[in-house]
Amino acid sequence: MKKGFLLLVALLGLVSCSDKQQSLKIVCPTNAPSLCFYDYANNENFITSSNPQNGIIPMFMKDTYDIIVAPTQGGLNQIVNQHANYQIAAVITFGNFFIVSTGRDEDHTLNAGDKVLIFQENDLPGKIFNYVYGDLGLSTYAVASLALTKTVIENNGTLTDETTIKFDYIFTSEPVVTSTNSEVFKNVQEDFSKKTNGKMLTQASVFVKKTSNKNLIDSFLANLENSILIALENPDVLEIALSTLGSPEAQQGKYGVTGKIAKTVTEKNNGFSLGYKSAYSIKNDIQQFVDLFPGLKLGTLNEEVFY
């Protein structure tokens, strides 16, 4: 009880800091990125979207929001190619992709011929999977959504479509791993780091509007870094904060997950890969990451795209 009380006091202190920034309008994808804003649960200026491509990316050209949290490559594409009035300030999620085993593979090694279910083949998940494991000669089958990987895991690794396919491995992400009680066979972030000689998977980033009040933005970023650190050290605050929204359905509606799941995943192994890095301080990591998307034609990122 004492621990919970102290955590609640800490949380209220963070919310108080956030209240000073009520004029900042923020839009953010649900799931992992939104959890970095757990202390904004009841802030009306904090809007979330479960569809970044349609609900987040178009906002770069509308100039409505002071802060846009978006897939790193998508936001930079808007800045570099569409001349959006934003700069990249920080990276806050670093990949939450994992491979789980169905137990069918007799040698328990990811190698040629193994059947692997992947998702969103033409988007970030598929591109990351193919970059890291594309030279192994795997037999892959793609589904459109993360939710379908959960369905297949719950069906003993079997997909029943026009035909029945039994998989050896399933490429998925949190919170599916935790919600299905699956054991991690491969941590994709670790394999990405090995393949890139230690680079980080800079998945989602904070973009700030150039014309917003700089003092407010600096205060916001400092508060964001601090609140993420507190959540990593004390995952209970995630459940406490999201519970202020009421029902699990309300929590899931705004954040994509419940506070209970957010706490469990973070407590277990920071499976959402929450964190905070100044974008400029890891610009080489960001460059290598966006180079995975040659079709965007981002080229070498110049200094002006960084806050």
Can you give the pLDDT at residue 1? 42
Can you give the pLDDT at residue 75? 97
- Sign, CA dihedral 173-18-42-61, equals negative
Whole-structure pTM value: 0.91
Q: What is the 3-state secondary structure (H, E, C) of the chain?
A: CHHHHHHHHHHHHHHHHHHCCCCCCEEEECCHHHHCCHHHCCCCCEEEECCHHHHHHHHHHCCCCCEEEEEHHHHHHHHHHHCCCEEEEEEEECCCEEEEECCCCCCCCCCCCCEEEEECCCCHHHHHHHHHHCCCCCEEEEECCHHHHHHHHHCCCEEECCCEEECCEEEEECCHHHHCCCCEEEEHHHHHHHHCCCCCCCCEEEEEECCCCHHHHHHHHHHHHHHHHHHHHCCHHHHHHHHCCCCHHHHHHHHCCCHHHHHHHHHHHCCCCEEEEECHHHHHHHHHHHCCCHHHCCCCCCHHHEC
pLDDT in tens, the chain (307 residues): 455 556 555 555 655 554 566 679 999 999 999 999 999 999 999 999 998 989 999 999 998 999 999 999 999 999 999 999 999 999 999 999 999 999 999 999 999 999 999 999 988 899 999 999 999 999 999 999 999 999 999 999 999 887 899 999 999 999 999 999 999 999 999 999 999 999 999 999 999 999 999 999 999 999 999 999 999 999 999 999 999 999 999 999 999 999 999 999 999 989 999 999 999 999 999 999 999 889 889 999 999 999 9
Can you give the pLDDT at residue 202? 97
Can you give the pLDDT at residue 23? 78
Can you give the pLDDT at residue 161? 81
Please report how the helices 214-233 and 2-19 are oriented relative to each other, as an axis angle in degrees rounded to 10: 170
For the chain, state the CA radius of gyration: 20
Can you give the pLDDT at residue 66? 96
Structural domains of the chain sorted by starting position, each given as residue range(s) with its CATH number in brackets: 2-94+200-305 (3.40.190.10), 97-195 (3.40.190.10)
Apex CA 71: angle with CA 30 and CA 168, to 5°? 80
